């Protein structure tokens, strides 16, 4: 393809990315580096600040949500949201969770927190699906193959999208309004304490590649268009689409990072690490399902994780 076509594709995917994922890397990095002035995120570093964090979110969000019937559920989910960027005041359904600040045994707190994360993840799957549909040619693929590509791609995409929100000390959540420390996440009871640590390790290394939002958009499309997902019916058109996006990504990297010569190769290598992280993550969720009596998995996530790895 001509360079001009490849650049047009990059622009198109960047626009689709901005449309579907409002918390961009540029915005997240500005927040993390303290360049947003008065709007510094609220820091959650222990149980006490977790409770206060919810209040902080409630105070900020009530004016935005006067019209809404499900105040409390929305706010709880807003508190833990933001892994991967989210629409402020998203209108989608949640699990009927109770507020984190409600009294209850400490044990239940991790589960409630986990449920909020699930709701946010389900919403992110919807955003990722919309992004996928904007990839030229995706919607023309066999519908079964579209389902397969999403089933196997969305968790990888979710993990890549967490990276811009993270640094070595913690992660932004709740649309960048809250910073939750890595130490706090590590202090949760097992196995919750083990969930985020591999993502931090991956993200710190991934962030060293210093991709910008337009390169992130192309990389996400490359991940979605993986022709080696199990059970695909018609691999050829998927590989053709991926090849074009790969050309566009390679060109974009050359233009943006002229001195990082091996960047394209390094980025492609990350896809191997990513698959291992997803496999471990899914096994951890399956373990949770067995060991936690009160655990219920969001129907969309259940659908995705069933018979995955």
Tell me the closest approach of the beta carbon of residue 279 to another protein, in angstroms: 20
Binding site for another protein (CB under 8 A): 91-94, 119, 122-123, 125-126, 129-130, 133, 143-144, 146-148, 150-151, 231, 298-300, 303-304, 306
Of 211, 197, 136, 133, whose CA–CA distance to 168 is shortest? 197
Q: Work out how close the CB of 30 gets to another protein at its nearest, in angstroms, rounded to a whole number.
A: 28
Considering the complex, what minimum distance in angstroms separates the CB of residue 61 from another protein?
A: 19
Residue with Cβ nearer another protein (109 or 220): 220
Least distance from another protein to the Cβ atom of residue 122, Å: 5
Find the angle CA(156)-CA(158)-CA(159) to the nearest 5 degrees.
Answer: 65
- The C-alpha atoms of residue 39 and residue 28 are separated, in whole angstroms, by 12
Q: Alpha-carbon distance 79 to 56, whole Å? A: 9
Helix (H) or strand (E) holding 177: none
As measured in angstroms, the least distance from the Cβ of 239 to another protein is 19
The smaller minimum CB distance to another protein, of residues 119 and 171, is found at: 119
3-state secondary structure 238-290: HHHHHHHHHHHHHHHHHHHCCCCCCHHHHHHHHHHHHHHHHHHHHHHHHHHHH
Say which residues have a Cβ less than 8 Å from residue 108's Cβ, sequence separation at least 6: 294
Q: Which is nearer to another protein, 41 or 82 (CB)?
A: 82
Q: Pick between residue 91 and residue 102 the one whose CB is nearest to another protein.
A: 91
Q: Which of 153, 174, 176 is nearest to 225 (CA)?
A: 153
216: part of which helix (H) or strand (E)? helix 213-224
User: Which of residues 86 and 185 has its CB atom nearest to another protein in the complex?
Assistant: 86
Q: Which is nearer to another protein, 5 or 303 (CB)?
A: 303
- Nearer to another protein by Cβ, of 174 and 248: the residue is 174
Nearer to another protein by Cβ, of 294 and 307: the residue is 307
- CB of 270: closest distance to another protein in angstroms? 25
To another protein, the closest distance from the beta carbon of 247 in angstroms equals 26
Instruction: State how far the Cα of 213 lies from the Cα of 66, in Å rounded to an integer.
Output: 33
Residue 284 CB, nearest distance to another protein (Å)? 22
C-alpha to C-alpha distance for 115 and 184, rounded to whole angstroms: 17
Distance CA 169, CA 149 (A): 33
């Amino acid at each position: 393809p001509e360079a001009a076509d490849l650049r047009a594709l990059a622009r198109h995917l960047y626009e689709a990315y901005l449309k579907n994922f409002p918390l961009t890397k540029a915005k997240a990095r500005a927040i993390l580096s303290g360049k947003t002035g008065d709007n510094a995120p609220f820091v959650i570093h222990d149980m006490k600040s977790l409770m206060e964090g919810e209040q902080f979110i409630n105070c900020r969000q009530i004016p935005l949500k006067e019209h809404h019937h499900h105040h409390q559920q929305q706010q709880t989910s807003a508190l833990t949201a933001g892994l991967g960027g989210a629409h402020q005041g998203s209108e989608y359904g949640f699990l009927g969770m109770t507020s984190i600040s409600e009294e209850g045994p400490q044990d239940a707190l991790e589960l409630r927190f986990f449920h909020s994360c699930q709701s946010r993840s389900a919403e992110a799957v919807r955003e990722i699906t919309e992004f996928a549909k904007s990839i030229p040619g995706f919607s023309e693929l066999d519908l079964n193959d579209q389902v397969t590509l999403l089933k196997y791609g969305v968790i990888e995409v979710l993990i890549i999208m967490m990276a811009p929100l993270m640094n070595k000390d913690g992660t932004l959540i709740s649309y960048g309004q809250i910073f939750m420390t890595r130490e706090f996440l590590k202090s949760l009871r097992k196995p919750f304490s083990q969930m985020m640590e591999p993502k931090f390790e991956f993200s710190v290394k991934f962030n060293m590649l210093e991709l910008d939002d337009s390169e992130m958009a192309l990389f996400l499309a490359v991940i979605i268009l993986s022709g080696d997902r199990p059970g695909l019916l018609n691999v050829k058109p998927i590989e053709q689409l991926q090849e074009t996006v790969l050309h566009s990504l390679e060109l974009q990297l050359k233009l943006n990072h002229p001195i990082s010569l091996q960047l394209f190769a390094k980025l492609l290598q990350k896809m191997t690490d990513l698959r291992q992280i997803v496999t471990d993550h899914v096994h951890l969720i399956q373990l949770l399902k067995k060991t936690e009596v009160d655990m219920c998995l969001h129907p969309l996530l259940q659908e995705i994780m069933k018979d995955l790895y």
